[in-house]
Structure 1
Amino acid sequence: MLRILGRASSINVRKVLWACAEIDVPFEREDWGAGFKPTDVPEFLALNPNAMVPVIQDGDFTLWESNAIIRYLALCYGEAALYPIDARARAGVDQWIDWQASDLNRSWIYPFMSLARHSPSHQDSQALAAGCVEWARHMQILNRQLEATGAYVAGNEFSLADIPIGLSVNRKRPVNTPTELQH
């Protein structure tokens, strides 16, 4: 059975949980990370030298990095609708997954740390304003894409790309999928 290491409140763990729910992959989850088992211990560092969640273990195979994990799950357990076989269609999904990890995430991190986490080191009003402008710019890009496709990020059907982007847009909203609630 698939083993997922990471706390369910982590956006990156939630990507994996959502993918498992979409693909109907059974799993066991263990709480690791902030507020739970520490990730800077030798046991965890042997699995992920970055000391970050999530990590999966699928038999004797270990993988870290949430976007790599959801791609792996779709390839191993999913169907082509989530992660197309056609190279061009897959590239379209990949570009939006990568956009989420780089551009979109960078744009919301300062406002999120300032407004949601109340981080003392993220209280510069000019940096906050600049972050909000960047977030709005990226939301306009996403809006135009959704208008062009009619509903989904990478085309006219739900795909793997919708998972990370959906979670970034609804950063504080819980997933609460049936599979997540069981674990």
Structure 2
Amino acid sequence: MADNKKQQLTIWGRANSVNVQKVLWCLAELDLAYERIDAGMQFGKNNEAPYLAMNPNGRVPTLVDGDYVLWESNSVMRYLCMAYGENSPIYPSQPKARAGVDRWLDWTLSTLQPVDRPVFWALVRTPVEKRDMVAIQKDVDAEAVVWRIVEAQLATRRFIEGDQFTIADIALGAYARRWLGVEGVIKPKLPNLDRWFAQFAARPGFVQFIAPPMT
């Protein structure tokens, strides 16, 4: 892959967004060069006309690759793997193996993200004096039900889809960092999840983009 092609990659989005973090981790796994431009929340830009022309949702991240623009973080990861990761095992080419990865990418957005968001916002982005801990614990309990699905999946495999680390582990791992990182609530013991998490916690992309303190 030509260096000048790699240099065309631009990611719009703030570094503390879980969806931006997934893409940055994927870029690190693929060893791709890129430019990142802060956008969203305190940085603004995402509700301005130039950004909305790229991404009408006004959300982050948005990928710009030359004259090609793509939004939706999991779609961005898929694209990066297909366009630049031909020899990378993180997005397998065999149909059944790829479909297995894809289902977890979809599941992360359809099932995990909706129960993660209220817990994360309440325990990370809400001042302590404004937290309703009874309500928050109910949300934690609801999220725990979903993580038990991952726990059961990991009972018979090293990573979420077998012995190989994939972008499904990136998508789930970014949310697992939030789940394992929040404090002051009661969470069930999930030993398979803990073991799985420990396997990738030292990967450079995780250390750089996922592990820093949550904000």
The bucket for the TM-score relative to the shorter chain is: 0.7 to 0.9
| Corresponding residue number in structure 2 for 1:130 | 138
The more displaced of 51-60 and 128-137 is 128-137
1:109 aligned residue (113, 117, 131): 117
8 A Cα contact 1:110 1:131, kept in partner: yes
Residues of 2 paired with 1:88 and 1:80: CA distance?
Answer: 17
Q: Which runs of 5+ in 1 are unaligned?
A: 179-183
RMSD over equivalenced CA pairs, Å? 2.2
Residues of 2 paired with 1:7 and 1:109: CA distance?
Answer: 17
Once the two structures are TM-superposed, the CA of residue 139 in structure 1 deviates from its matched residue by: 1.6
- Per the normalisation by structure 1, the TM-score is 0.88
| Corresponding residue number in structure 2 for 1:177 | 208
8 A Cα contact 2:30 2:88, kept in partner: no
Q: Which runs of 5+ in 2 are unaligned?
A: 1-7, 182-200, 210-215
Residues of 1 paired with 2:208 and 2:30: CA distance?
Answer: 12
| Corresponding residue number in structure 2 for 1:144 | 152
Counterpart check, 1:15 vs 2:22: yes
Once the two structures are TM-superposed, the CA of residue 131 in structure 1 deviates from its matched residue by: 1.6
Residues of 2 paired with 1:139 and 1:9: CA distance?
Answer: 22
- Per the normalisation by structure 2, the TM-score is 0.75
Residues of 2 paired with 1:175 and 1:76: CA distance?
Answer: 22
Counterpart check, 1:97 vs 2:128: no
- 1:63 counterpart SS class: strand
How many residues end up aligned between the 2 structures? 176
Q: For residues 3-50 of structure 1, give each alpha carbon's deviation from its aligned partner in whole angstroms, at most 9, with x where no partner exists.
A: 111111111111110000001111011111111142110011001001
Once the two structures are TM-superposed, the CA of residue 127 in structure 1 deviates from its matched residue by: 4.1
The one of the two structures with greater contact order (alpha-carbon pairs below 8 A, sep at least 6) is 1
Percent of aligned positions that are identical: 39
Q: Which residue identity lines up with residue 165 of structure 1 in the other structure?
A: L
| Corresponding residue number in structure 1 for 2:92 | 84
1:63 aligned residue (54, 59, 70): 70
- 1:29 counterpart SS class: strand
Q: For residues 88-130 of structure 1, give each alpha carbon's deviation from its aligned partner in whole angstroms, at most 9, with x where no partner exists.
A: 100100111111111111122222221221179x955554233
| Corresponding residue number in structure 2 for 1:181 | none
Q: Which residue identity lines up with residue 145 of structure 1 in the other structure?
A: Q
- 1:177 counterpart SS class: helix
